[in-house]
Structure 1
Amino acid sequence: MSVTIRAVDRDGLELCTVPLPHGGDPRAVLDHCGYTWLGVKRAWFGEDGRLVIEAVAGDRPTPEPTTGPTSPPVESDEDVRLAPGELPRVRQRIAAYALVETERGVLLTELSEKVRAAAGRWTLPGGGLDEGEDPRTGLIREVWEETGQHVTDIELVDVRTGHWVGVAPDGHVEDFHSVRLVHTARCAEPTDAVVHDLDGSTSAAAWVPRTQLEDYPLAPMLEDTLTTWLSHLPTP
């Protein structure tokens, strides 16, 4: 899969359309083009198979393009070992995640041992999209597989990326670029969380009250963002 960032102004007029390079961060890409990221509107797969992320952007105080990198520095897992002449396998993963809260709490999932660097940490339910799969459709599927919950009223609220070199579950070393589409969603009839995909990346699921979130070791993608994302939700 490949990704395109389409920036529009507050009135929906197109400002620029640029590819997201491997390892790239959408905010840095727009900054490089002379615009400031103000938020995300929607995401869809075009007829050419590329994921289009439409973001609302504004002019920077100094509108000239920047010369800084569009990709943050690449992190590397401690156990990475490459043979002489070996190069990491380049892989990009587009995934959709759901932020869901009911009177039972916030819906979280625990990462299994298949997620080597973050096993035992808790994250939002969600996962990788199939080729050309609508992000909302994929999100509904992933939430059901990982928690047994049915969700509706899905709204895209943020896009986050990660870039690192690490060992994949199959033992290969990967130059991995993660593009995460974060949505809010509604669960009208919450039930006890049950993991249906028993051979996947999720080992457990739970509804966690906000007052108990600090008791759970969070995955890196949530450590600095969960509080911000929760602000998009009303307290049940």
Structure 2
Amino acid sequence: MGQRVQRLAAYAVIVRGDEILLSRLSERVTKHELWTLPGGGVDHGEDPRAAVVREIHEETGLEAEVGVSAHVFSMHLEDTWRRGRRVDAHSVRIVYDGWVAADAPEPHVVEVDGSTVEAAWKPLSAVLDGSVPTVSLVGEALGVLMPHQRQRVAAYAYVERDGALLLTRNSVLGPHPGVWTLPGGGVDHGESPAATVVRELHEECGLDGTVGDLLTVDDHHFTGEAPNGRREDFHAIRIVYRATVPEGVEPQVVEVDGTTDAAEWVPLAELGAGRREVSSLVAAALAAARR
């Protein structure tokens, strides 16, 4: 039996749409094309989460974030070769859920003469069917690391006047940029939904609103990328109130660099004709208002 060697390493599963970020091992590690998760050895005294962020930058040139929880994988090879010698190797691999910004540049290797020679986004389908050759850790990690689950409670205003509906447009920082929706947003911890509507009407439309009766409660469940690039299994619970705003004051966005970049009175006839892209929340609110 060879010398015992134990290694602790940290990696991240970073999925964007239908692609996964991978690093290709250099020829000094393997003579064959072989891809792995970005990551690497944890230095003495280094936090594993800090190690994986460092390794992702070195191997892909990207600035990443990782979740606080992880899965641990263990591989024991009693008789293998490491750096030209026969060893009894034990690898402990900590794998995190990771993400990069949606507008992150194309990956490229930063480290010189390291174990990685290429970094790229690879189709998930090609990884799963074996078209892209990967180390076993990739498949094992994909089998257990599901998208981050997130539930969000938000409150919105339905303000209709003179045949028009008050709507706001999602900015590039928000979900579905360019889509129009009702003014509103997430309910802060300890905040009543009605107070959320008043606050959001001011931030997104510059208007002082008065909240009326509850119109409807709607929910929306989907899996996709959050504005920060993290893949989420997202469940939105959306509370909609009827509301009124003062006459003679035009809406204008107050908050700077937020998720809203425009606010307008949109004619209901225009919405009915489908000439403007609106969120499913608008359709649900309109249906409830007609009942």
Given the two structures, how large is their TM-score scaled by the length of structure 2? Answer: 0.49
C-alpha distance in 1 between matches for 2:225 and 2:166: 28
Specify the code of the residue in structure 2 equivalent to 1:79: G
The one of the two structures with greater contact order (alpha-carbon pairs below 8 A, sep at least 6) is 1
SS for the counterpart of 2:153 is strand
1:79 pairs, out of 17, 20, 45, with 17
Whether the aligned pair in 1 keeps the contact of 2:211 and 2:241 (CA below 8 Å) is no
**1:220 lines up with 2:280 in the alignment:** yes
Deviations 1:138-191 (A, max 9, x none): 110011101111111422121111111111112211111100001111123351
Whether the aligned pair in 2 keeps the contact of 1:100 and 1:107 (CA below 8 Å) is yes
2:288 pairs, out of 202, 223, 229, with 229
Shift of 1:78: 8.3
Per the alignment, residue 164 of structure 2 pairs with 105
Whether the aligned pair in 1 keeps the contact of 2:207 and 2:246 (CA below 8 Å) is no
Deviations 1:116-143 (A, max 9, x none): 4x21111110000101210100110011
1:93 pairs, out of 139, 152, 155, with 152
SS for the counterpart of 2:219 is strand
CA RMSD, aligned part only?
2.3
Specify whether residues 166 and 189 from structure 1 end up closer, same or farther in structure 2 by C-alpha distance, changes over 3 A only: same
1:168 pairs, out of 226, 251, 275, with 226
Specify whether residues 183 and 82 from structure 1 end up closer, same or farther in structure 2 by C-alpha distance, changes over 3 A only: farther
Whether the aligned pair in 2 keeps the contact of 1:195 and 1:202 (CA below 8 Å) is yes
Whether the aligned pair in 1 keeps the contact of 2:217 and 2:240 (CA below 8 Å) is yes
**1:134 lines up with 2:192 in the alignment:** yes
SS for the counterpart of 1:169 is coil
Specify whether residues 219 and 231 from structure 1 end up closer, same or farther in structure 2 by C-alpha distance, changes over 3 A only: same
**1:189 lines up with 2:127 in the alignment:** no
Deviations 1:76-116 (A, max 9, x none): x9825467423322211100011001237210011112234
Specify the code of the residue in structure 2 equivalent to 1:158: T
Bigger Rg, structure 1 or 2: 2
Given the two structures, how large is their TM-score scaled by the length of structure 1? Answer: 0.59
Specify the code of the residue in structure 1 equivalent to 2:210: T
Specify whether residues 171 and 192 from structure 1 end up closer, same or farther in structure 2 by C-alpha distance, changes over 3 A only: same
C-alpha distance in 2 between matches for 1:202 and 1:96: 15
Flag the structure with higher strand content.
Answer: 2
SS for the counterpart of 2:204 is helix
C-alpha distance in 2 between matches for 1:190 and 1:98: 18
Specify the code of the residue in structure 2 equivalent to 1:95: A
Per the alignment, residue 83 of structure 2 pairs with none
**1:203 lines up with 2:261 in the alignment:** yes
Unaligned runs of 5+ in 1: 1-76
Moved over 3 A (4+): 80-84
Specify whether residues 190 and 226 from structure 1 end up closer, same or farther in structure 2 by C-alpha distance, changes over 3 A only: farther
C-alpha distance in 1 between matches for 2:148 and 2:16: 17
SS for the counterpart of 2:188 is coil
SS for the counterpart of 1:145 is helix
C-alpha distance in 1 between matches for 2:18 and 2:250: 38
2:209 pairs, out of 126, 151, 154, with 151
Specify the code of the residue in structure 2 equivalent to 1:107: L
C-alpha distance in 2 between matches for 1:182 and 1:206: 18
C-alpha distance in 2 between matches for 1:171 and 1:185: 34
User: How many residues are paired up?
Assistant: 154
Specify whether residues 190 and 146 from structure 1 end up closer, same or farther in structure 2 by C-alpha distance, changes over 3 A only: farther
